[in-house]
Structure 1
């Protein structure tokens, strides 16, 4: 019979305890993998540099899934392919959820890059000529943002009684410069700059295309309802991982990342 070795037994016990602890953590429903969707550019980078490191310290595995459109991230979230997404504002979320009968909810607002008016052909807004072409987003809520800015510039006026937040091309009462509006998918707007006189480009797609916010000839002053947000399934709002995501966005660590990497972004009120 082999002799009993207390030291070896102690090592085995420690190893066994570590294995059990590891398995327990892997099976812990409060420490799951979080699949986080975002449009490519600043909102996925906010997760990558400001949120993922915090959540991984809490024991989560975080996977970032990047999208190039505004439709698939919400469908994927509702279907369970994602656990959260960050790319849209509350006006878009509410309309998309209602139109598609999805149970999605806002969790927390995030620092947001404003929509801006850019040009490769003109250096000033007063260079506008009659018949100029202006590209703008083709989705309902972001098109309204562009039309609000067009009205502020005096390039168009809206029909009396129209809610600017819900406005579209059909609501334009006068267009004194006979501007030709060119609606495009938001991700395609930076590419349109070589073909149009001016283009309204959402901040995330502008930055992803190498444009700078201060390159814009006009930047919107973002109202709270146009600040981007993190969305989750409504049924998951009270789950621990959702609380941890919200806490990460509200943390001092995340605030430092925003100051260092995302200067010029509009920030939500704390």
Structure 2
């Protein structure tokens, strides 16, 4: 088979899979990419919707799974990752400010909403006084969880507090005297048997087999709480990073969301 015919056949195959080669070009200066994500749907997004595109373009893609909200950013800053997918923009901005890291958001991904789950009650109206509530212990997702409780009219917080930085000390009205127990986010699904309710970020809910339809309440995440891909600031404009960015905006990505992630919050424009 001639070289030209082989190239034409490859191009036709790429188009058939929504990977038109004209949209991407592997960075000749960097063809090995290491991408990190938390266990659950973020990892699956990279595996099912992103890696196939990059590999079609000549990249070798390695995926690394994490089970916490600290190591993915530290690994990225230290250079063992090229990009990560696990956090929303509010968390990224606060983390990089606190840790003095030169990281930046590259592109928006799909987002699984945070939800309130229980094995002990069937409605939030049934919460007993003094109920034990487990929720994320990292400041950004703790604020997000408290805001979800505000939306469900279970607590009230100070009216002038930054909604992205709400903490337990900002709660001014707690009529049911709920007892808040901050837990490492990955461990929250395991508390369902003991807690009255657990407030679980979407990625850890899905990785634990929890169904959004079984939640007592789900958030409608604002832009600040939607997942983003992060890279080192110095890499944001490099060709490989732009190829990665384009992969999250492609028709292939949209088709993968339709097939594998129905009901998730989508990036703007998809």
CA distance in 2, matches of 1:173, 1:248: 45
Please name the residue that 2:174 is paired with: 175
Count of equivalent residues: 243
Computed over aligned residues only, the root mean square deviation of the Cα atoms, in angstroms, reads 0.9
CA distance in 2, matches of 1:160, 1:98: 25
Shift of 1:120: 0.6
Shift of 1:102: 0.4
Query: 2:154 aligned with 1:155, yes or no?
Result: yes
Shift of 1:160: 3.3
Please name the residue that 1:221 is paired with: 220
Q: Which has the higher helix share?
A: 1
Please name the residue that 2:74 is paired with: 75
Query: 2:51 aligned with 1:62, yes or no?
Result: no
Greater shift, 150-159 or 212-221, is seen at 150-159
Please name the residue that 1:102 is paired with: 101
| Aligned pairs (5 A) from 1:84-99 | 84-99=83-98
CA distance in 2, matches of 1:160, 1:116: 23
Greater shift, 40-49 or 154-163, is seen at 154-163
| Aligned pairs (5 A) from 1:228-267 | 228-267=227-266
Structure with max Cα Rg: 1
CA distance in 1, matches of 2:237, 2:164: 31
Please name the residue that 1:23 is paired with: none
CA distance in 1, matches of 2:208, 2:153: 28
Please name the residue that 1:53 is paired with: 52
Query: 2:116 aligned with 1:117, yes or no?
Result: yes
What's the TM-score, normalizing by structure 2? 0.88
Shift of 1:31: 4.1
Greater shift, 228-237 or 152-161, is seen at 152-161
CA distance in 1, matches of 2:266, 2:159: 32
| Aligned pairs (5 A) from 1:135-214 | 135-214=134-213
Greater shift, 149-158 or 88-97, is seen at 149-158
Shift of 1:166: 1.2
Moved over 6 A (4+): none
* 2:228 match: secondary structure: strand
CA distance in 1, matches of 2:210, 2:189: 8
* 1:189 match: secondary structure: helix
CA distance in 2, matches of 1:37, 1:56: 16
Q: 1:31 to 1:57 in 2, by over 3 A?
A: farther
Please name the residue that 1:7 is paired with: none
* 2:161 match: secondary structure: coil
CA distance in 2, matches of 1:269, 1:120: 34
